[in-house]
């Protein structure tokens, strides 16, 4: 793993009032997320013996064989370094209209987005090509298994994308989507498999844990406590974690030392990086104690960047992702929304864990995609004021991503790391 530390002073951007606003509006409406509920059907189980193919992972981990793998892409290719290629013929991988599982915050065409090029870009690593995504092949690996995404709304964005990539090969009567408390479960009967999303924006316990009702201000994190959430992940075969956006408060983090039930909360303040470090450590400790590396895989998805300030990429003052239709060309572009100091923390904590945690380093490739956000083309939960309507920049969502779109690539990378590590 490349652990070259970034140069420059660690900074977190206080510009995040805007982030707070968007996150709030998006998350607050989470209860509307699942509008398709289906009954499960009795279904006979098709028993097919899966050959157990195993291949070494990389030079460094030759002695470790990872479950689910079926080959190698070889050459030590870093699939996260590459460029975007416009390719109308092979993209998107599905149509917006034929995937009923996309939240209305992400169905950009349905809400009037005029351009489609953002759907037609393929990620091309510099030194290899990604295997093409094969839904049947993925289901075969998932047979009898549970896969779970754990994290915030961006992880839910990726979860929805994966369901869209996978659902079409399952007949209508043999799939279902249900929400139970903090968990959304997609079930494919004939494979006896589930793909789930669990809301835990800090991974550890916090006062933002209710998927529907939570305040965005005054975030309080109980870093020492992960069990309350983790009891729901135990025994899951493939875990995909993320956590980042909620740490960006622009202030020091408020850390709870006792319990949320205490009469008087015992709260201390801590630098964000330090708190983030402790939370990731807590997650790693849990994984090392509870995950069997012979049976399970664990992934961690790095920061999803936002595009709230067009001056970052040399655009006009006052602009953001609104009206952006092309990616950023500068290969070194990083912008101001993804903290390099937080990436350094991720590198430190996730290298050399006792149970392998595979990094999905999607930050750089996503930084280029200022064209791929939901922007103003999404369901608005509150009526827009005339002032807002007159200036769309003020209400563009530059955090989440249209589907089909960028998160499909994150899943192609996940698929690659899962099947061809």
Ligand X SMILES: *[C@@H]1O[C@H](CO)[C@@H](O)[C@H](O)[C@H]1NC(C)=O
Pairing of strands 238-242, 297-301: parallel
Q: Does residue number 140 form part of the binding site for ligand X (CB under 6 A)?
A: yes
- Structure tokens, 131: 């295997």
Site string for ligand X, 63-92 (x = CB under 6 A): -----------------xx-----------
Helices (H), 121-216: 135-142, 153-166
Q: Which is nearer to ligand X, 4 or 39 (CB)?
A: 4
Q: Which is nearer to ligand X, 243 or 364 (CB)?
A: 364
Distance between start and end Cα atoms, the chain: 14
Number of C-beta neighbours around residue 299 at 10 A = 20
Residue 1 CB, nearest approach to ligand X (Å): 5
**Which of 361, 409, 411, 416 is close enough to bind ligand X by CB under 6 A?**
361
CA-CA distance, 191 to 194, in Å (whole number)? Answer: 9
Residue 260 CB, nearest approach to ligand X (Å): 32
**Which of 144, 171, 258, 331 is close enough to bind ligand X by CB under 6 A?**
144
Interface region with ligand X, contact rule CB under 6 A, candidates 87-95, 135-143, 306-314, 381-389: 135-143
CA dihedral 279, 194, 417, 82 (to 10 degrees): -90
Contact assessment for residue 33 and residue 382, using Cβ atoms and an 8 Å cutoff: no
Q: Does residue number 17 form part of the binding site for ligand X (CB under 6 A)?
A: no
Active site amino acids: 153, 397, 400
Interface region with ligand X, contact rule CB under 6 A, candidates 108-116, 139-147, 176-184, 249-257: 139-147
Q: Which is nearer to ligand X, 140 or 209 (CB)?
A: 140
CA-CA distance, 90 to 218, in Å (whole number)? Answer: 45
Q: Does residue number 136 form part of the binding site for ligand X (CB under 6 A)?
A: yes
Contact assessment for residue 420 and residue 119, using Cβ atoms and an 8 Å cutoff: no
Q: Which is nearer to ligand X, 7 or 264 (CB)?
A: 7
Q: Does residue number 2 form part of the binding site for ligand X (CB under 6 A)?
A: yes
Q: Does residue number 347 form part of the binding site for ligand X (CB under 6 A)?
A: yes
Q: Does residue number 129 form part of the binding site for ligand X (CB under 6 A)?
A: no
- Structure tokens, 356: 């392998």
Interface region with ligand X, contact rule CB under 6 A, candidates 196-204, 206-214, 215-223, 360-368: 360-368
Helices (H), 224-381: 227-230, 272-290, 340-350, 363-367
Q: Does residue number 93 form part of the binding site for ligand X (CB under 6 A)?
A: no
Interface region with ligand X, contact rule CB under 6 A, candidates 88-96, 264-272, 281-289, 342-350: 342-350
- Structure tokens, 31: 């209860």
Task: Report the DSSP beta bridge partners of residue 254.
Answer: 220, 269
Q: Which is nearer to ligand X, 145 or 175 (CB)?
A: 145
CA-CA distance, 327 to 321, in Å (whole number)? Answer: 11
- Classify residue 332 by its DSSP letter: T
Which of left, alpha, beta for 335 (phi over 0: left; psi -120 to 50: alpha)?
left
Residue 302 CB, nearest approach to ligand X (Å): 6
Task: Report the DSSP beta bridge partners of residue 85.
Answer: 122
Q: Which is nearer to ligand X, 102 or 350 (CB)?
A: 350
Interface region with ligand X, contact rule CB under 6 A, candidates 180-188, 283-291, 339-347, 410-418: 339-347
Q: Which is nearer to ligand X, 1 or 17 (CB)?
A: 1
Strand order in the sheet with 253-256: 205-206, 220-222, 253-256, 267-270
Residues contributing to the site for ligand X (CB under 6 A): 1-2, 4, 45, 80-81, 134, 136-137, 140, 144-146, 192, 323, 343, 346-347, 359, 361, 363-364
């Amino acid at each position: 793993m490349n652990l070259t530390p970034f140069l420059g002073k660690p900074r977190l951007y206080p510009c995040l009032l805007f982030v707070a606003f968007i996150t709030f509006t998006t998350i607050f409406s989470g209860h509307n997320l699942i509008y398709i509920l289906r009954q499960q059907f009795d279904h006979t189980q098709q028993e097919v013996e899966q050959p157990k193919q195993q291949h070494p992972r990389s030079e460094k981990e030759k002695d470790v064989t990872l479950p689910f793998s079926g080959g190698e892409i070889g050459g030590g290719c870093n699939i996260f370094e590459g460029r975007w290629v416009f390719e109308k013929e092979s993209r998107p991988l599905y149509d917006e209209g034929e995937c009923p599982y996309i939240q209305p915050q992400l169905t950009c065409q349905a809400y009037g987005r005029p351009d489609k090029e953002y759907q037609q870009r393929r990620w091309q690593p510099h030194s290899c090509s990604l295997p093409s995504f094969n839904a049947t092949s993925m289901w075969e690996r998932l047979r009898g298994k549970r896969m779970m995404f754990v994290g915030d709304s961006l992880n839910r964005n990726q979860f929805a994308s994966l369901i869209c990539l996978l659902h079409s090969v399952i007949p209508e009567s043999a799939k279902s989507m249900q929400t139970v408390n903090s968990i959304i479960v997609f079930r494919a009967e004939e494979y006896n498999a589930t793909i789930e999303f669990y809301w835990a924006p800090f991974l550890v316990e916090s006062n933002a844990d209710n998927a529907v009702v939570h305040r965005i201000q005054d975030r309080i994190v109980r870093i020492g406590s992960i069990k309350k959430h983790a009891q729901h992940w135990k025994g899951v075969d493939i875990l995909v974690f993320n956590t980042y956006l909620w740490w960006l408060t622009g202030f020091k983090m408020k850390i709870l030392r006792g319990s949320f039930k205490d009469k008087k909360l015992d709260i201390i303040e801590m630098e964000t990086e330090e708190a983030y470090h402790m939370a990731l450590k807590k997650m790693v400790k849990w994984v090392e104690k509870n995950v069997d590396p012979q049976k399970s895989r664990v992934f961690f998805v790095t920061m999803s960047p936002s595009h709230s300030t067009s001056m970052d990429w040399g655009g006009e003052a006052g602009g953001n992702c609104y009206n952006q239709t092309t990616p950023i060309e500068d290969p070194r572009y990083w912008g101001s929304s993804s903290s390099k100091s937080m990436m350094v923390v991720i590198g430190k904590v996730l290298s050399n864990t006792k149970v392998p945690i595979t990094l999905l380093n999607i930050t750089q490739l996503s930084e280029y995609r200022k064209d791929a956000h939901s922007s103003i083309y999404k369901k608005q939960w509150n009526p827009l004021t005339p002032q807002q309507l007159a200036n769309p920049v003020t209400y563009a969502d530059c955090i989440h991503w249209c589907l089909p779109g960028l998160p499909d690539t994150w899943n192609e990378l996940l698929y690659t790391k899962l099947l061809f590590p």
